[in-house]
Amino acid sequence: MDSVLRDIEREKSKMQADVANLFRHHEKLQNYVRQYIEQTTVEWAKLVTSHPGALLLVVEMTRVVDENGSTYGESEPIRFTIKHLASGEMWDQLLHPTHSCEVRGAEYHGLAMADLREKPRISQAWPEIVEALAGHHVIIFGADYVRQALRTVYQTHLLDDAFCLHNKCKEYYGEFYELSLEKVLAYQGIDKKREELRDSRDRLLMLAQVLNNIAAGMTKKQSQEPEILDTDDLDSHPF
């Protein structure tokens, strides 16, 4: 019986050692993946900030409101603003709503129907929009939302290949929920509130700064340099 108990204890100790080794292995792999994501995002940001064909796009939206004042959750574009990252050149186009009888969301974009009443609808401005965007590497903070809203009024694949800066920031900072633009700016030491960036041109300047900071390797933890892991130094797999 004593020998059986010793054998059980020996196997138990072996299993505990294997579990501890597994946790160490997982932690090192996790840190390696984290560093790999950061490094590849920095390289991507370096590329787009210097590429002559890369641009940032902000598309302002309004909820679609019918003649009775009701809204059903759909949105449509009311402004396209572009900033070329290499040259700094800007292009701006205000749009009269196609479907909506009112303009909602002024707390985000600062626009009212009076600002848009004499502006073209998207169907009229579409050739100029295509000319401004086609053939460029387009970067949008919230690309999926913009693509969905654009298709509310215009069936197009123009933005299908646009990069989502919001998703890049989520990966870079390792936060996949509730990562707002204001929070990204705070991580980079930029003291700007979202309400200060209602004008899309001001927001583009901040988004360009976000990209430049990522290209420079700025993270939210500046107190110490991250340890560079050697993948050959990982513990041998316990299985």
In a domain, 27, yes or no: no
Mean pLDDT of 206-215: 96
In a domain, 167, yes or no: yes
Helix (H) or strand (E) holding 134: none
Whether residue 181 is contained in a domain is answered as yes
* Averaged pLDDT, 126-130: 96
At residue 129, the pLDDT reads 96
Does position 204 have pLDDT exceeding 90, yes or no? yes
Domain membership of residue 147 (yes or no) is yes
Find the domain containing 118 and state its range: 49-215
Q: pLDDT tens for residues 28-63? A: 776 777 888 889 999 999 999 999 999 999 999 999
34 is a domain residue? no
How large is the average pLDDT for residues 67-91? Answer: 93
Q: Which helix (H) or strand (E) holds 36?
A: helix 2-50
pLDDT surpassing 60 at residue 223? no
For residue 154, what pLDDT is reported? 84
How many domains, the chain? 1
Asked if residue 97 belongs to a domain, the reply is yes
Report the CATH number that the domain containing residue 72 is assigned in CATH. Answer: 3.30.420.10
* Residue 1 in domain: no
Tell me what pLDDT residue 15 has.
76
How deeply is 108 buried, as exposed, middle or buried, from its count of CB atoms within 10 A (0-12, 13-18, 19+)? middle
For residue 18, what pLDDT is reported?
66
pLDDT, tens only, 143-179 = 999 999 999 888 899 999 999 999 999 999 988 888 9
Tell me: pLDDT of 226 over 50: no
Residue 146 lies in a domain: yes
Query: Which tops the pLDDT comparison, 118 or 18?
Result: 118
What 8-state DSSP symbol labels residue 101?
S
- Over residues 104-119, mean pLDDT: 95
Q: Give φ, ψ of 100 to 5 degrees.
A: -75, 140
Measured in residues, the chain has a length of 239
> What was the pLDDT predicted at 73?
82
pTM check: above 0.85 = no
* Bridge partner residues of 63 (DSSP): 75
